[in-house]
Structures are given as C-alpha cells and as structure tokens.
Amino acid sequence: MVITTQEELAKVLTLTDAELRWFSLHTHSLPLRISRYYLSLINPDDPCDPLRRQVIPSIEEEIGINDESLDPLAEISHSVFPRLVHRYENRVAFLVTDRCATYCRHCFRRRFTAGELSRASDAEVKEIADYIAAHREVKEMLLTGGDPLMLSDVQLEKLLSTLRSARSDLVLRLCTRMPATFPMRITDSLITIISHYTQPALYVMTQFNHDREITKESIAAVNRFVDAGIPVMNQTVLLRKVNDNVDTLERLMNALVAIRVKPYYLFQGDLVGGTAHLRVPLESGLTLERELRKRLSGLAMPTYAIDLPEGGGKVPLGTSYLKGKDAQGSWVFSTVDGEVRTYPDPKK
C-alpha cells in the first residue's frame, strides 16, 4: 500500500543523484512514505515531475537557511496540551495523529509528523473535550495532524462522538489530503459515520496542489463527501517548480470548481526547515496572484495568504486595487487591467 524504503522506490523510479544523496544520510527529519496510488501518478521518466517533487526527498532538504524553524508558526508556545494548539481565540487545532498516507516534503509540521506519538489516546481526547467544553469562546476546531483519516472508522467515530458530546455547537474542520494521496480511504462506510456529525457544520479541508492530482479516483472521493452534504474546500500550497506558474494554477482552480470543491487558500510556503528549495519568492507569488485574478472567477479565485512567523497568524496577500482618494474626495481604484475608476461616498 505504501513505499517507505529506497529499495522499494528504486523498483519504480530511477533515483536522481540528489535523491540518492538524501538516502545516504543516516538521519532524516521526515521519513519517506508514499502511497502506491500517488506514486502511480508520477511520470517515472521525468525527474522534474511536479508530483515527484512534492513527495520524493532530495538532499536539498538538508540545506538550512537563516530564519527557518521546525516550528515556524510557534505552535508549541500556543499549545494548551501537546496535541491542542489554541493560537486564535475562536478556534483550536487538534493534532489527532502524526501519521499521513503520504508525507509531503513541504510539510510545515515536521516537528510532529511521523514522530513517536501516533494517534491521540482516549485520555488525551477526553482532556481536549473537557477543555473545549470549558472554553465557550472556541467556535471551531480543526481536526488535523498528520491526517485524521489515518484513524480507523471505529476510532474516528469515537473521536467525533466524544467531541460532539462535549460541544454540540462546535463547527468542525476535517483536514485531510486523502482525496489527493489515497482516495480509496473515502469509503461509503466512512461517509456514513461522518454524516452523523454534520450538525452543526463539518467541513472537509483538503489539499490539491496540481491538476494532475485530480483523477477519477479523487473525483469519486470528493463526490462521496459532497453528495452526502459535506462541503469540501481546498488549500493549495504554492510550491516552486510544482505549481508556480499561472497556467497550472488556473487549470487547478477551475478543475476544483468543476468537481464542486471551493478553492479557499493559496498559501505562501512557511519558513520550516528543509523546505527552502520549495518556497516561491513572495514577489513571484504576488505576480501570480495578479494574473490569476484576471483569469479566474470569484468562485475559482483562492485567497493568497501567508501564515506569519512566530505565531503572527494568517493574513491575506495580493494587490490592493484601492489607491486612495482624489481631490474631490472620491475613492480611486485601479482595475485588474490597470485602468482607473472612482467611487464617491454618499453625501452626508
């Protein structure tokens, strides 16, 4: 089901020198793990395949730069418990498990992913449930990790039941990359379980980074969610030599809308150690955002955003089309094509 060793991988792909050098190291901050399904999407004859770049490690991961961190979003300092991050007043993140079907090389939670904690124990779930019961300011909970769908159906149902019993009014976000990396996990039985816990809303937050990840299998997985009344939103990570060109992003966003997935965020890469080779310069990202806004509808356009270092939180990026006021007091705007328009306020 999964590839975890150099020997298994070499049977499918001819490894490059940079990939072989990574394997020659004795320690790795994030091990190799690729579902055989996702590996089948990679062109074995293309060493620069954008899907390959996302999941196959390279010696470039060992090149550190200043300002990188294994905890770039300061989650540890905002953790109430080892698995519960309370960084924003009205929402928390529950690190349900440290396992994923496939380990992405751009993972921002390398400090936690593939560690020694595995899934949350019953005692930890109860502790977190008691916390959210006592903290009514929390309106939303992200179930994340790792990938919460690494839990079995029985384990997931127990988790959801415990949380809903503690807070029947809590909106849940199920953060999973399974529709892209292992869509076979999205079974009818899984949907039946999740469907019991969709009042109040439960949103699926997934991650497609390239239009080639949208296959008949991933579409079937998405359809199961949406047909059951479970909304699906997508958070794409902007990655160098993966999707950092406007044509790829345009295809991806339009393809997502076509399969009933709302493009939500386009994220600038976090300053996590080992990912500098995958981060896109911010100016390039801003240029892409401007061009995308010309090409995409409002429904297909994601919010380009950055999660600021040191726990600064998410803020939107992008061009400001508001330029100020003119001599008559009207607001001055630039259109996406660079033309000028004014908008007067109502007279007092």
Report the catalytic residues. 87-88, 91, 100, 104, 107, 109, 270, 307, 314
pLDDT band per the 50, 70, 90 thresholds, residue 266: very high
pLDDT of residue 284: 97
**Per-residue pLDDT reduced to its tens digit, 108-137:** 999 899 987 789 999 999 999 999 999 999
The CA distance from 192 to 51, in Å, is: 31
Classify residue 29 by burial, with Cβ atoms within 10 Å: 0-12, 13-18, 19+: middle
Look at residue 6 and tell me whether its pLDDT is greater than 80: yes
Q: Where in the chain is the domain with CATH 3.20.20.70?
A: 76-275+282-316
Look at residue 162 and tell me whether its pLDDT is greater than 90: yes
- Give me the half-sphere count of Cα atoms (radius 13 Å) on the Cβ side of residue 43: 7
pLDDT band per the 50, 70, 90 thresholds, residue 215: very high
Q: How many CB atoms are located within 10 Å of the residue 20 CB?
A: 14
pLDDT of residue 272: 93
Rounded mean pLDDT, 241-264: 98
pLDDT of residue 68: 87
Topology given in CATH for the domain delimited by 76-275+282-316: TIM Barrel (3.20.20)
pLDDT of residue 66: 75
Rounded mean pLDDT, 251-266: 98
**Per-residue pLDDT reduced to its tens digit, 28-75:** 779 999 999 999 999 999 999 999 999 999 999 988 777 888 889 999
